[in-house]
Amino acid sequence: MTVAVEAIPSLGRRAVERRGFKHLARRFARNRLALVGFLLFLAIVLMALLAPWVAPASPIKTDFTAYLQPSGPRHLMGTDELGRDVFSRIIFGSRASLEAGVISVGLAIAAGLPLGIVAGFYRGRLDDLLMRVTDAMLSFPQLILALAVAAVLGPGLAKAMIAIAVVLTPVFMRIMRAQVLTEREREYVDAARALGAADRRIIWRHLLPNSLAPIVVQGSLNVAGAIITEATLSFLGLGTQPPTPSWGAMLNAAQQYLTQTPWLSFWPGLAIATTVFAVNVAGDGLREIWDPRTR
């Protein structure tokens, strides 16, 4: 599985090179909204990486002399019920969200791609079995399955990420399998085989690079979904645990102070919505570039 993860960036470059990276980048940049989304996402990533330097205060240091303060010069977004600086917690909270979004989708791709390739390339009984299992997994409502897996695994960010990855794996497996099924019938695969290429070579050099576009598109849109799911799990108390700041958990804690200090419920939600919007818009831009139907 780790092999597949390492292989993705290089193969992605190859797939892109064939259609001209510059051409694609130009198409992407022409879609203003997508570009704005991508830049916004980059800014949020930077904020997460540089959190200790960007944040004005500690995200976990409590101050019982200044709890539930409204926004002001000392605390830009006010303080929470333990006197912690909300602005700093929002900045640090981006880490849990981005980690959850990127890592859970990465795990799902790492598990889904090999399974999809095996199912689509070798067919047979294993394919039948995998298809039935994914049929079953896809007939659960995504959030309810994620919730059940997270409940069984217990609370924690890592466990929430595993729960999200489990739910997303059949999605990537199905896409990869469908890609392999169509690509393996193409002439170039026959040609490669006639030249004496082994299965391994055909899979790595031909099938994977040519099947990557839909995976990247699906992956980017699923990152957005995964961020919301992590926030939802944290909101229900199953994701990131205190005192580590996470937007979902902050909303959960803020709920009981809604009548006195509504801004506590406002900022974390705005942060989630902004991040997810950025990823969705950028992902949508990718989809439009690669989807021949929208050209």
204 binds another protein (CB under 8 A): no
Closest contact distance (angstroms) between CB of 22 and another protein is 24
Closest contact distance (angstroms) between CB of 80 and another protein is 15
Closest contact distance (angstroms) between CB of 258 and another protein is 6
Task: Compute the distance between CA of residue 257 and CA of residue 253 in angstroms, rounded to an integer.
Answer: 8
Q: Which x/- pattern, by CB under 8 A, does the window 273-292 give for another protein?
A: xx-xx--xx--x--------
Number of residues that bind another protein (CB under 8 A): 48
* Interface residue with another protein, options 44, 238, 286, 289 (CB under 8 A): 238
Binding range to another protein, per CB under 8 A, among 18-26, 100-108, 186-194, 254-262? 254-262
Closer to another protein by Cβ: residue 52 or 262: 262
256 binds another protein (CB under 8 A): no
194 binds another protein (CB under 8 A): no
253 binds another protein (CB under 8 A): no
Task: Compute the distance between CA of residue 47 and CA of residue 239 in angstroms, rounded to an integer.
Answer: 21
Q: Which x/- pattern, by CB under 8 A, does the window 115-134 give for another protein?
A: -----------------xx-
Closest contact distance (angstroms) between CB of 51 and another protein is 21
Task: Compute the distance between CA of residue 261 and CA of residue 69 in angstroms, rounded to an integer.
Answer: 8
Closer to another protein by Cβ: residue 38 or 189: 38
Q: Which x/- pattern, by CB under 8 A, does the window 134-173 give for another protein?
A: -xxx-xxxxxxx-xxx-xxxx-------------------
Residue ranges that bind another protein, judged by CB under 8 A: 33, 132-133, 135-137, 139-145, 147-149, 151-154, 224, 228, 231-232, 235-238, 248, 251, 255, 258-259, 262, 265-266, 268-269, 272-274, 276-277, 280-281, 284, 293-294
